[in-house]
Structure 1
Amino acid sequence: MVELAGAGYAYEDGPAVLSGVDFAIAEGRALVLLGRNGSGKTTLMRLLSGGLRPASGELRLDGSPVSYDRAGLTRLRTAVQLVVQDPDDQLFAASVEQDVSFGPMNLGLPVDEVRARVDSALAALDITALRDRPTHLLSYGQRKRAAIAGAVAMAPRVLILDEPTAGLDPEGQERLLDTLAGLRSRGTTVVMATHDVDLAVRWADDAAVLTPSGIRFGPAPRLLADPELLAGAGLRQAWAPAVTALLRARDLLGAQAPGPKTPEALASWH
């Protein structure tokens, strides 16, 4: 659906952050991006959403190269939306409703359709009661939800979230994950960048791990059970695979042993 082919990027007067990247977002999959700070996650997300233009290679949407003129970027941003980590970098309007309506209004949609999209986005993020609230009076978790609602109102096919659970308490994290599950059930493909490997194991279908030697991509349960890969990416091993490995080393996951027999079963049990 969205892919980078041979893409590279370097900031002015700096070394290449990404080089020769081949990376694709498959429709309907929950994809998690992991890597240490400075590994290129933010750059990758901005390339995928059109905020940056590859210095080499190209970005494709539905197999066709993206053009970076007004029409091309409008087409891309209608399909792909990025929500940054700090909601205060994204919210700017006087009220929640005004902020969420900004994107659809700028698409030139009829007023009735804009209202319908705003109503739907507010309901999806469970913030309908906050529609008239000034954005500066929202709690941190509410601001996160309002920022995501603004992206959802664009009806994107792909929603990219940078550290969406950072700064949220456990209840707030679970509410957000429930919201993302609801968006996925409506057909939105969700990509999440995070440092939380336990969350990634529990949530993602696929994982992309950014390391100094490149990007490793594969099914999340297999990729995130590789302790050497995670260590090379500056990440801690997830709880479930780590405990599975320990139990297996003690021969406690044999055929006659009680309890879960596989990493996937242990993750579900946990």
Structure 2
Amino acid sequence: MLEFDAVDYQYSCSLAPSIRQLSLRIPEGARCGLIGENGCGKTTLFLLANGLLRPQHGRIRWRGEPIAYQRQALAQLRQRVGLVFQNPEHQLVATSVAEDLSYGLVNLGMDDNEILWRVKQAIVHFDLEALVDRPVHGLSLGEKKQLSLADVMMLEPELLLLDEPTAYLSPGHCRELLLQLQRIHAAGTAIVVASHDLDFLDGWAEWLFVMDRGELVLEGPPAEVFAQRQHLEALNLGIPPRLALLKRWRELAQRHLKLPPVELEALERLLREPEQSDCNQQPAQTPGLGD
């Protein structure tokens, strides 16, 4: 669907490339996560994929054809590859929710009846009924992110890119986002999410890309990627807290050691302990713990 072939990109103000010799493939119908430290190149990758940046070396292909950088070709690409920015303020352009929903479609010269139909569909699908007459500046961050996603999906992209969609969201808005992504993917749209929320990606993604200093250093199903804990820790990433906790529980169960703590502070100390520290513990009877 979308392929990067040995792509390099360096910002003029930077001393080092943001993307270097990057090769990866996003297949049809994918549900992918993109992880890495801040500054590793995740956002730059998205800007390249959407045609907002142009590779200095290498090539990007959309459905087997090299991306063309003429104005009309880029407009078509951005309809097919939708990008939702981390900061919704960079995406919302109108004063009211209703105006913002129709803005992109009007710019495309779409028929008025088609615009009206799509706006109505978006209001229902993205649960915007209570917001439609409100000014954009009065929305909460979660509501603005919700509107940004609706704006992009109005164009019916084949590939959706989301940059840190769960950042600063409440648990309720995160749950709503997950439901929206499930619905969008079920309708046939491929999705790539760049995020530091490893728990979210572990439960949602079917494939992970791991980046470090502009390079793709690891990829695979989440279970395989997160099994490489030492590699990820060397990249300052670690593994989802849920998996770290499960790993320690299993270690304790296998050694028939002390009962797991029930207080948060004790649990945090346990998770920080070196694995060999358990060797000094006295065995305790823990019926059922190893079952």
The 1:56/1:147 distance shift into structure 2, 3 A limit, reads same
Summarize the alignment of residues 12-161 of structure 1 with structure 2, pairs less than 5 Å apart: 12-14=12-14, 15-161=16-162
Instruction: Tell me the CA shift for residue 36 of structure 1.
Output: 0.6
Which residue of structure 1 aligns with residue 219 of structure 2? 217
* Distance in 2 between residues matched to 1:4 and 1:260, nearest whole Å: 46
Percent of residue pairs identical: 36
Q: Bigger radius of gyration, 1 or 2?
A: 2
Distance 1:233 1:197 in 2: 14
Distance 2:288 2:195 in 1: 33
Distance 1:260 1:156 in 2: 48
Contact kept, 8 Å, 1:119 with 1:128, in 2: the verdict is no
Deviation, structure 1 residue 152: 0.6
Superposition deviation, residue 252 in structure 1: 3.9
> Does the CA contact (< 8 Å) of 1:29 and 1:189 recur in 2?
yes
What amino acid is aligned across from residue 229 of structure 2 in structure 1? P
> CA offsets per residue over residues 126-185 of structure 1, 9 Å max, x none?
113322211011111111111111101010011111111111111111111111111111
How does the TM-score come out when normalised to structure 1?
0.89
CA distance in 2, matches of 1:259, 1:62: 51
Aligned to 2:276: none
Letter in 1 for 2:103: F
- Structure 2 stretches of 5 or more lacking a match? 256-286
Counterparts in 2 of 1:10 and 1:213: CA distance versus 1, 3 Å? closer
Once residues 235 and 81 of structure 2 are traced to their aligned partners in structure 1, the CA distance between those partners, rounded to angstroms, is: 27
Tell me, yes or no, if the aligned pair for 2:32 and 2:208 is still in contact at 8 Å: yes
The amino acid of 2:236's aligned partner reads: G
**In the TM superposition, what is the alpha-carbon distance from 1:46 to its structure 2 partner?**
0.6
Cα distance in structure 2, aligned partners of 1:219 and 1:43: 23
**Distance (Å, rounded) in 1 between the aligned partners of 2:75 and 2:137:** 29
Residue identity in the other structure for 1:222: E
> What is the CA-CA distance between 1:19 and the residue it aligns to?
1.1
Inter-CA distance 252–140: structure 2 relative to 1 (3 Å threshold) = same
* Cα deviation digits, residues 80-113 of structure 1 (max 9, x gap): 0111111111112011111111112222221111
CA contact (8 A) 2:40 2:214 kept: no
CA, structure 1 residues 70+259, in 2 after alignment: closer, same or farther (shift >3 Å)?
A: farther
Query: C-alpha separation between the residues in 1 aligned to 2:209 and 2:231?
Result: 11
Deviation of the 1:243 alpha carbon = 2.9
Which stretch shifts more, 231-240 or 131-140? Answer: 231-240
| Contact 1:212 1:233 (C-alpha < 8 Å) held by counterparts | no
Structure 1 gap ranges (5+): 262-270
Separation in structure 2 between the aligned mates of residue 231 and residue 42 of structure 1, nearest angstrom: 22
Q: What is the TM-score with the length of structure 2 in the denominator?
A: 0.83
- 35-44 vs 70-79, which deviates more? 70-79
How many residue pairs align between the two structures? 259
